[in-house]
Every structure is written in C-alpha cells, then in structure tokens.
Amino acid sequence: MASDKGAICTEAKVGVPREFCRLYSLRQTAQFAISKFGHVNAMELSLEWCRRMQHFFDIWRLQGSKSYIFSADELGSYVAQPSWTSLCASIPMGSGGRERFDFLSALRPVNP
C-alpha cells in the first residue's frame, strides 16, 4: 500500500528560469500534499504547474528581453490539457483543496 505522507514538489531550475520567476512574480517552487490531494491529483497538479510555467517561460525566452511585457493575448494563450480540464471539473466547488486547482488554473506571469 502506498503512503499518503509526503508531497509532489516542483521547482524552477537554478539560473534563468528562477530569474524569470522573480521578474514576473511567480513562485519558484510548488508543493502538493499527497495527504490532501491523493497521489494522482498531486501529480496532476505538479504537471500542470510545470506545463504552465514552461509555456510562459518559452514565450519570454523567444522575445530575448528581460523587460518583456506579455500581451493580453499571450497571457491568455495557455491551453490546458483535456485531462486537466476534466480533473478540475470533477473537483466539487467549496471542497478543501479546490482553491489550489483554481489558483493553478489562473497561474500566469505578472508584468513588471
């Protein structure tokens, strides 16, 4: 039987990815407790965090400017995987942990 202790953790790589996080007010790490979300959901949360962060990081890197300002279209350009959309739809409103799903669904850079 798998343990419900621990967490799935994500972390921006040292160097340029962390600089990106600092510039755009994004957390450099995220942690999803297995006891709160279960193994599968904690893993899905961590994967979604990584996908979103990578999406915006890739846009930023293509621009080649540390002072880049994301357009409204770019900030709204992330398209979640169908598995994420289905998972979010299955989490009842008001349930403990729903706020974490909602927060992650809204995650995007904050222009400096």
DSSP letter at 47 equals H
In this prediction the pTM is 0.89
Can you give the pLDDT at residue 4?
63
State the average pLDDT for the chain.
Answer: 92
Can you give the pLDDT at residue 93?
85
Separation CA 27–CA 47 (nearest Å): 15
50 near 10, Cβ under 8 Å? yes
| Stretches in the chain below the pLDDT threshold 70 | 1-4
Can you give the pLDDT at residue 1?
38
**75-107 exposure pattern, b = at least 16 Cβ within 10 A, e = fewer:** eeebebeeebeebbeebeeeeebeebbeebeeb
CA 8 from centre of chain: 13
